[in-house]
Amino acid sequence: MTTNQALFDTAQRLMPGGVNSPVRAFGSVGGTPVSMVAGQGPYLTDAEGKQYVDLVGSWGPALLGHSNPAVLEAVRAAVDKGLGFGTSHPLEARLAELVRSRVPSAQMIRMVSTGTEATMTAIRLARGATGKNLIVKFAGCYHGHSDGLLAAAGSGVATLGLPGSAGVTQAQASETIVIEYNDRQALEQVFADHGGNIAAVITEATPANMGVVPPEPGFNQLIRDLTAQHGALMIFDEVMTGFRITEAGYWGISGRAEGWTPDLFTFGKVIGGGMPAAAVAGRAEMMEHLAPTGPVYHAGTLSGNPVAMAAGVATLENATAEVYEHIDLKAQVVADGLSATLSDAGVDHTLQKVGSLFSVAFGTSRTGVRDYSQAQAQEAFRYGPFFHAMLEQGVYLPPSVFEAWFLSAAHDDAAIDQILSALPRAAKAAAQAG
């Protein structure tokens, strides 16, 4: 039988690091990456036939669980008619309609293929619409891997401990101003110093790529107020949170309740239901700056691909209120179990949680985690042993302490019990790490 090790050996000869996205290489947890060959409900099966309860969910898209029958049926129906035509297709508007029904200020939508492309396009749109150059981002927020957004990015960049990326020019980096998250004073200072030149502030709706870091009360509102005062746009990156935290994303429990809307949203992950689809959305007059109605160019051979649209439509149509209730409930159970088990084992930590998204930060109970410096200062060395103890017991966690854990509608009591009963041994491994 093929082993994970044999597959990884082959992959390393053919692909840099043996992977197509860095975090998959297990760099920060060590050991051999697991090659998955199938997903069903809350489970993944690897190339050696071992089954795991999955808490990665394809990094978020698998809101309904793997191989959801309604999603697979919709995809099969689309595939039977052809893989793509490079033309308009009825399901594009159907998906746009579903997005707008959940987030009314997403009046118009441009479909793209990845979250990276969505934020990149939103930035270009902001510069094109305002005629200004500077972008403000927060340290630890990840917005994909386009050049100007890699400065102090979280996610894989955080996992590898890189300040940014080689290959990003000084000129590109100098047009991105990076400040600490949740730092109201720094944000006010940036606008006092550069207000006339700022095209946009881009923020994760609630950061989850440096581990989960909730916005402090009023922080998103402050971004909204300052951008509005200075003629800059607010880009609310909901690539991870959109249609996951609530049916209307994180905006559904922040902007909607507080009475504000960003100028632009970016969506990804859940919107594609596991296929490559993402989107930029916002007010109609803003979105019409995009070609062909406006001068800001964006195009894509695969944008609005019918198979991807079919997966997205079926996912959103089946992401009912009960689905969100179920995921919220199960996330609470796992998060509570995780925190209690770590405490029992004497492992200092904070449980970082927003809605159904959560992560753990080790050795941070004294400081808390409100920004990237605090996230990076944690005892990250405890995560590798913790991760591998869970993996051995058949629970697949994100292979980095800086990533959130994802539940799905398919995580039933059996799956949750398997997670909970694996925790004590992992907590002990975390306690003994040194």
Q: Which is nearer to ligand PLP, 277 or 334 (CB)?
A: 277
Under rule CB under 6 A, residue 214 binds ligand PLP: no
Under rule CB under 6 A, residue 398 binds ligand PLP: no
Residue whose tokens read 């969506």: 267
183 given a catalytic annotation: no
250 given a catalytic annotation: no
Contact 228, 191 (CB under 8 A): no
Q: Which is nearer to ligand PLP, 245 or 429 (CB)?
A: 245
DSSP 62-129: -TT-BT-HHHHHHHHHHHHT-S--SS--HHHHHHHHHHHHHSTT--EEEEESSHHHHHHHHHHHHHHH
Q: Minimum Å distance from CB 72 to ligand PLP?
A: 21
Residues 234-253 that bind ligand PLP (CB under 6 A): 237, 239-240
Options 28, 68, 105, 119; binder of ligand PLP; rule CB under 6 A: 119
Residues 192-211 that bind ligand PLP (CB under 6 A): 204, 209
- The catalytic position among 54, 237, 263, 371 is 237
24: left (phi over 0), alpha (psi -120 to 50) or beta: alpha
Tokens of 39: 């997903």
Under rule CB under 6 A, residue 268 binds ligand PLP: yes
Q: Coil, strand, or helix at residue 269?
A: helix
Which residues face 200 on adjacent strands?
A: 135, 233
Q: Minimum Å distance from CB 75 to ligand PLP?
A: 18
The values of phi and psi at residue 236, to 5°, are -100, 105
* Binding-site size, ligand PLP (CB under 6 A): 14
Under rule CB under 6 A, residue 140 binds ligand PLP: no
Residues 276-335 that bind ligand PLP (CB under 6 A): 278
- The catalytic position among 142, 181, 250, 383 is 142
237 given a catalytic annotation: yes
Q: How far apart are CA 359 and CA 367, in angstroms?
A: 16
Residue whose tokens read 């399901």: 91
Task: Tell me the catalytic residues.
Answer: 142, 237, 269
Which residues are near ligand PLP by CB under 6 A?
114-116, 119, 142-144, 204, 209, 237, 239-240, 268, 278
